[in-house]
Amino acid sequence: MRVVSVREMRELDRRAIEEKGVPAIMLMENAGRSVSDVILDMLGADARSKKVSVFCGTGNNGGDGFVTARYLAEKGVCVRVYIVGDHFRIKGDPAINLSILEKSRLEIKEITSFIDIDADLIIDAIFGIGLKGDVREPGRDIISGINKKSFPIVSIDVPSGLDADTGEVLGVAIKAGKTVTMQFAKKGFYINEGPEHTGEVLVVDIGIPEELCAE
């Protein structure tokens, strides 16, 4: 299995967009759809009776979370979306996907600290592979609160707060049961504190052209 650094993954994204003409929003759409497929498989035949809480940050990882929430809701899952941070900071493709969600009947709430939730499963889409420096509030409190719950946790791309290159915890990090990562696993998943935070790693295809992936 190929393992890449953050720099290598960003370069693959850039080349897919700039050289091959793959729209960035399509990569986000593919990522969210792939994560939703994993979640639906976990929830099983009675998915419509299950409750899923999706914690989304204000960047691209949060955008993946918005897409995931939409696909799950379309399948009848009871989905609640919690935005970690100021939603006015959400720009570009994540903002487009949030706007789509806001036109649905999903419960969307901005939070500044962890709130008690009733869920069968939690999706972590707070911070992605580009996080640098220790997690600050409100992310720190919310990640700590999520880790205290007994519900299964699925992280999108990387457990929030884990350095995807070094496997070091940036102050605090999600302890996921599964990490659904995009296109390739990341180096930090297998060193230092990475293994105890990623859980089972599932790699999904988001549509980066094969010729780029093979180089």
164 pLDDT tier (thresholds 50, 70, 90): very high
pLDDT surpassing 90 at residue 12: yes
pLDDT in tens, 106-135: 899 999 999 889 999 999 999 999 898 999
- The DSSP 8-state label assigned to residue 47 in this structure reads G
The residue type of 55 is F
What is the pTM (predicted TM-score) of this model?
0.96
Give the phi and the psi of residue 193 in degrees, each rounded to 5: -90, 0
- Total domain count, the chain: 1
Residue 122: closest CA among 78, 85, 161, 155 = 155
pLDDT surpassing 90 at residue 105: no
Residue 141: closest CA among 84, 195, 179, 193 = 84
Calculate the CA dihedral of residues 206, 209, 211, 213 and round it to 10 degrees.
-20
pLDDT in tens, 167-194: 999 999 999 999 999 999 999 999 999 9
pLDDT the model gives residue 161:
98
Owning domain of residue 27: 3-213
**In whole angstroms, how far apart are CA 130 and each of 8, 14, 101, 117, 157?**
12, 14, 25, 28, 11
- CATH number of domain containing 192: 3.40.50.10260
Long-range contacts, 193-201 (Cβ 8 Å, 24+):
193/162, 193/167, 193/168, 193/169, 194/162, 194/167, 195/167, 197/159, 197/162, 197/169, 197/173, 198/155, 198/158, 198/159, 198/162, 199/153, 199/155, 199/175
- Extract the tokens encoding 81: 């979306």
pLDDT in tens, 42-67: 999 899 999 999 999 999 999 999 99
**Rounded mean pLDDT of the chain?**
95
